Every structure is written in C-alpha cells, then in structure tokens.
Amino acid sequence: MFCNQCEQTAKGIACTKVGVCGKNEEVADLEDVLIHALTGLALFAAEGRKKGIVDPDIDRFTMEAIFSTLTNVDFDPERFVQLINKTVEIRDDLKARVAAAGGKTDFDHPAATFTPADTMEGLVAQGVEINLIPSLDKDENIRSLKQTLLYGLKGIAAYADHAAILGKTDPEVAGFVYDALAALLAEGLTVDQCVEVAMKAG
C-alpha cells in the first residue's frame, strides 16, 4: 500500500500500512484495479465520442466509480468488486458499439483488454501487479504530473456525481474526464503537455 492522495496522509508523506482514514491495503489495491479498468473504458468512450456515441448512463457510472476511490468515500471491498466487473462489462459493450460505428478499437494498452480475476483475492493480487502510480510513467516528473491529474479527476468526479444527484449533468465534463483518463495511459507526453491537461482539470 502507498497512498498519498490526501492531506491527512501519515507524516505528510504516504500511508503504507493502513490509511489514516481507515482504508486498508486490500481496498487500496481494489481502488487501483478500478482506476486501471476505468482508463481502459475511457479509451473507447473517447473514441466513441468522435463517432457520435455519447451515453449519459456510462458518463454517470464513470463519475460515480471514480468518486468511489476518493478519500473517505467507500471502504467496502465487495462494492469495488462490483464496480470493477461493471466497468469491464460496459467497456466491452462500448467497444462493440464503437467498432460498429467504424471507430478505432485496437488499443494496445493492457487496460483496454484487462480481465478481472474471479475472486477478491485475485483482484487484490492484480492491484499489486498493476502498481498503478509507478506504472503511469518511468519519468518521475511526468509520473507526478499524471498523478496530480488523476487526483484532480477524482475531485471533478465528486462534483459531477453530486450535480447528477441534483439532476445536472454536462457531457463536456464527461468528455474531458475520458480524455484525461486516456492521457494517463499515453506514452511520450512532455512535461508541458501534462501540465496543460492537469491545469485544465484544476
């Protein structure tokens, strides 16, 4: 476990055994798997938008799922298992719709074809293997900027989820979230490019 996404983190550095918030290592790993799965979904959602495929239900689910990984929101491992499986189910359905519309579907990033384990123990092991934050980039500056972007997206998702409860949604916000999630997977981004998208999130 290595979690430094909030201002309460241990010693101002990171929680490595259990979160100050109460989150345990199992939940932290499941959250990483969920974000990994959501980045794969985002590849197809962003491509689908180029082909006119805009699905409010998918947008709503994506915001709720991202929001669930924010500090002090949800520590229920069973719910994360459900969200992970639902994400992959939506991704595969959307992939078929994008393909039917003539869009690109042959993404080579592992997140685009990620298959969840059948058990919670297996999913936790996948979270350890994914090693989310270190996997964002080999360059520590790019990695840090992508991590900043990810945490910004969690904040956006929180506001978007609350707004949706009040009946307010914005497809442009969802479109940016998909583009930004996809950017987390992009290789070869410069510092300036990462700063630009991170600033847009903020």
Instruction: Spell out the domains of the chain, with CATH numbers in brackets.
Output: 24-201 (1.20.1270.20)
Contact between 109 and 38 (Cβ < 8 Å)? no
Residues 20 and 115: their CA atoms lie apart, in Å, by 31
pLDDT digits (tens, 9 = 90+) for 16-46: 777 777 778 999 999 999 999 999 999 999 9
Question: Residue 11 pLDDT > 80, yes or no?
Answer: no
Question: Residue 7 pLDDT > 70, yes or no?
Answer: no
Q: CA nearest 35: which of 153, 117, 138?
A: 153
Question: From residue 194, how far is each of 4, 153, 186 by CA, in Å?
Answer: 20, 14, 10
Q: What percent of the chain has pLDDT over 90?
A: 85
Residues 36 and 39: their CA atoms lie apart, in Å, by 5
Q: Taking each helix axis from N to C terminus, what angle separates 56-67 and 77-100, rounded to the nearest 10 degrees?
A: 150
What tokens does 109 get? 């990033």
| Residue 53 burial (C-beta neighbours within 10 Å; 0-12, 13-18, 19+) | middle
Average model confidence (pLDDT) across the chain: 94
Mean pLDDT lowest among 7-11, 97-101, 187-191: 7-11
DSSP state of 29: H
DSSP state of 188: S
Q: pTM of the prediction?
A: 0.93
Mean pLDDT, residues 136-150 taken together: 97
Question: From residue 182, how far is each of 18, 136, 171, 187 by CA, in Å?
Answer: 29, 11, 17, 10
Residues 177 and 201: their CA atoms lie apart, in Å, by 8
Residues 186 and 146: their CA atoms lie apart, in Å, by 10
pLDDT digits (tens, 9 = 90+) for 93-139: 999 999 999 999 999 999 999 999 999 999 999 999 999 999 999 99
